[in-house]
């Protein structure tokens, strides 16, 4: 049986596409899902299930300040007035609205993959008359942030849920300006007294392993919070 050059080209294109997908997925493996887990494993860590839009009430709970000290987090971010801050996995926008007053000449980009969460933020923006928050719909693999535009990205108890952590981290690196920072707030995985489901906690060692894999530099960890790590990484700046 003979094939025309066009058919051969299409067949080869399909083969190469399949090979590309396989290569992209090579850093993940599968296991039997554990409780609250997806069964997908990245660098030895099982990825947790995702908190849905139905958790808005928990994200906006009144006692969150007492439990997690978010106002202290804002102080520790050391923001400049004109910074562009990306709130990744913004959820209800709880942190976006706390950050916005600290960047009056800049803005907060609230990124989420659930349109319901972004709709909630838009409604809250109108109610509170906040002008410097923008909602931004990402995908499970891409924040879709413009290249070299972000001074600081913050992820609050979100990264451990990403189904494609490597691709998301790579897109964040792309979106950061040279020298830009990423701050993680994650429940302390090393501490058994932190009564959070195990897959919703992360250790400093694990976060550092995954961030160094995408070229980020470890800066520091600050453990000033009751139950969370405050981890800082930086995109290298060739000019510094």
pLDDT interval class at 27 (50, 70, 90): confident
pTM: 0.84
Answer yes or no: is pLDDT of 167 > 50: yes
Structural domains in the chain plus CATH codes: 29-234 (3.40.50.150)
Which two structure tokens, joined as six digits, stand for 128? 């509170």
Pick the more confident residue, 51 or 71: 71
What tens digit of pLDDT does each residue of 82-131 get? 999 999 999 899 999 999 999 999 999 999 999 999 999 999 999 999 99
User: Which segments within 73-144 are labelled E, that is strand?
Assistant: 84-88, 107-112, 133-137
Residue 19: CB atoms within 10 Å: 10
What angle (nearest 5°) sits at the alpha carbon of residue 149, between those of residues 143 and 152? 75
Q: How far is CA 223 from CA 68, 76, 185, 228, 230, in A?
A: 12, 11, 10, 7, 6
> Once rounded to an integer, what is the mean pLDDT over residues 177-183?
98
Identify the CA nearest to 186 among candidates 170, 176, 198, 178. Answer: 198
Cα first-last separation, the chain: 61
């Amino acid at each position: 049986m003979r094939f025309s050059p066009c058919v051969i080209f299409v067949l080869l294109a399909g083969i190469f596409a399949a090979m590309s997908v396989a290569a992209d997925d090579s850093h993940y493996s599968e296991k039997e899902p554990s409780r609250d887990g997806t069964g997908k494993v990245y660098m030895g860590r099982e990825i947790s299930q995702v908190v849905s839009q139905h958790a808005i009430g928990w994200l906006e709970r009144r006692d969150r300040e007492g439990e997690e000290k978010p106002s202290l987090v804002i102080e520790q971010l050391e923001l400049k007035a004109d910074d562009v801050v990306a709130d990744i996995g913004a959820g209800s926008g709880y942190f976006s609205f706390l950050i916005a007053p600290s960047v009056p000449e800049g803005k907060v980009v609230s990124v989420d993959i659930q349109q319901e969460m972004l709709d909630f933020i838009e409604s809250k923006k109108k109610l509170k008359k906040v002008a410097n928050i923008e909602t931004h719909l990402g995908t499970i693999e891409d924040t879709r942030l413009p290249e070299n535009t972000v001074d600081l990205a913050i992820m609050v108890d979100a990264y451990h849920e990403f189904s494609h952590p490597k691709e998301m981290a790579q897109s964040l690196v792309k979106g950061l300006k040279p020298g830009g920072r990423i701050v993680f707030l994650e429940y302390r995985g090393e501490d058994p007294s932190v009564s959070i489901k195990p897959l919703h906690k992360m250790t400093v060692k694990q976060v550092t392993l995954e961030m160094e894999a995408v070229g980020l530099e470890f800066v520091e960890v600050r453990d000033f919070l009751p139950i969370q790590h405050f981890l800082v990484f930086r995109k290298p700046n060739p000019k510094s």
